[in-house]
Amino acid sequence: MAYRSAGAGYADVAEHYRALIKAGTLAPGDALPSVAEIREEFGVAAKTVSRALSMLKGEGLVTSRGALGTVVAKSPIVVTGADRLDRMAKGGERYGPGETSSGHRVTRRSVYDSEVCTALDLEPGDEAIIRIRVFRQDDKPSSVGVSVYPPHTVAAVPELAQDERMVAQFDQLYEERTGREVVRGQRTAHARQASQDELAALEIDAPPHSAVAVLVTTVTFHDDQQALGYWEDVYAPGAKVPMA
């Protein structure tokens, strides 16, 4: 026995508009179609549309604006890291509406962090290329992105070692040049205390040695032979982060 009848349900309608917001196709302030238009597009009842919009409002993605109807909320979600790859793969832009980045840095240094060494199969003290940038929403820091690449990845994509912004995502360049598919691992999230460098990058004015909790997400990329890269995103307190 089916749990619901065939066809679109309120969760399907909500996911459709959630994906458009996440991809930047619908920008903050943009109006969603009217209830009548959504009903016609999906072939659903008014109650289904109402439940879908209520779900999106509960997630902070949209808000009611009187005569304007339902509009996308301002700066509703922070999209960085692995989600950016999905956005670009679907033909979207590198940055969403109102989003920029700053503080781009590229360094070659020895890696001692046990989590990074394990993820990339490095020995403590091995060198890697580390790329750091601060993502900003409406000119306010929303997250710090850190990506770490072992020597064999940089050998295939030497642009990673150059102190400038990448013109294409590393996974696309790697696949084109090696013929090996890049697979993304499980994205995980955890909370921890922010470092002083992270607080400075996020422009958080906190007393020295104070404990400020931040959300951190990590993901490792592989081909069929070895680990290729480790990404970490540190989000500003209060950031709304989409999770797969």
Residue 27 sits in a domain whose CATH number is: 1.10.10.10
At 29 the pLDDT is 87
Q: 20 and 136 share a domain?
A: no
| Residue 243 within any structural domain of the chain | no
Q: 155 and 103 share a domain?
A: yes
Number of compact structural domains in the chain: 2
Measured in residues, the chain has a length of 244
C-alpha span between 98 and 136 (Å, rounded): 8
Give the list of residues 6+ apart from residue 71 with CB closer than 8 angstroms, or none.
29, 30, 31, 32, 62, 63, 64, 65
Span 31-46, pLDDT tens digits? 999 999 999 999 999 9
CATH number at residue 127: 3.40.1410.10
Q: Is 25 in contact with 63 (CB distance < 8 Å)? A: no
Chosen domain end from 72, 95, 117: 72
At 91 the pLDDT is 67
pLDDT at residue 7 greater than cutoff 70? no
| Residue 5 within any structural domain of the chain | no
Q: 91 and 49 share a domain?
A: no
Q: 142 and 63 share a domain?
A: no
At 2 the pLDDT is 35
Domain that holds residue 229: 82-235
54 or 138, greater pLDDT: 54
Q: Residue 92 — very low, low, confident or very high, per pLDDT cuts 50/70/90?
A: low
Chosen domain end from 43, 72, 101: 72
Q: 122 and 184 share a domain?
A: yes
Give the list of residues 6+ apart from residue 9 with CB closer than 8 angstroms, or none.
44, 48
Q: 135 and 210 share a domain?
A: yes
Span 172-197, pLDDT tens digits? 999 999 999 999 999 899 999 999 99
At 149 the pLDDT is 98
pLDDT at residue 6 greater than cutoff 60? no
Q: 147 and 172 share a domain?
A: yes
> Phi and psi at residue 180, in whole multiples of 5°?
-105, 135
At 128 the pLDDT is 98
Span 116-163, pLDDT tens digits? 999 999 999 999 999 999 999 888 899 999 999 999 999 999 999 998
| Residue 242 within any structural domain of the chain | no
Span 163-173, pLDDT tens digits? 888 888 899 99
Q: 56 and 117 share a domain?
A: no
